[in-house]
Amino acid sequence: MRKLWAAALALLSALFFLVVASPPASAFGSEVLGCSAGLGWTANTCSSAASRYVGDPLYVTFSPANTSGTYGTSWTVIDDGVLVTTKCVSINNVACISSGCTAGSMSCQVFDRVGAGYYITAYLTLTQSGQSRTVSAQAYIKPGLEGCRTC
């Protein structure tokens, strides 16, 4: 009986140290940023719909995938080489933030007008349990139709 108790105690001790010594499971590091410019969400890159004219209004939405748990967030958006910080007040002729893109938000929507081929790039810094990483996605904005609807 003593040998049985000793074996059971040894097994329980081994399991205790295995559980205590194991780091917690985490998906941090597998997150990706994607975007949608009217055609559905895709990871890393997206393009505007082919049925757009130059000058048409366009919303691009950036959001992460493969997330797990709660994050702190910080967004940076660059539209054709220009930092976008202005909130949309009305329909603008320049890029503006229409929703999200703030600390704590898990999505970022940018308004702009379709131009002759340019990029909107979003950078999202995710922080969780003291770890940080930055992911990015890029939307290629181009007209699909010749001419200008509002000219």
Give tens-digit pLDDT for 103-141: 999 999 999 887 767 899 999 999 999 999 999 999 998
Task: Give residue 132's pLDDT.
Answer: 96
CATH architecture of 34-141: Sandwich (2.60)
Q: Residue 146 — very low, low, confident or very high, per pLDDT cuts 50/70/90?
A: low
Domain ranges in the chain are: 34-141
Give the separation between CA 24 and CA 26, rounded to whole angstroms: 6
Give the separation between CA 2 and CA 124, rounded to whole angstroms: 59
Listed in sequence order, the residues at least 6 apart from 25 whose beta carbon sits closer than 8 Å to its beta carbon are none
Give tens-digit pLDDT for 92-105: 678 899 999 999 99
Listed in sequence order, the residues at least 6 apart from 80 whose beta carbon sits closer than 8 Å to its beta carbon are 95, 115, 118, 119, 120
Give tens-digit pLDDT for 28-54: 889 999 999 877 888 988 888 766 777
Round the average pLDDT of the chain to a whole number and report it.
80
Task: Give residue 22's pLDDT.
Answer: 36
Task: Give residue 134's pLDDT.
Answer: 97
Is the pLDDT score of 14 beyond 80? no
Is the pLDDT score of 63 beyond 50? yes
Give the H/E segment covering residue 45.
strand 45-47
Where is pLDDT greater, at 107 or 7? 107
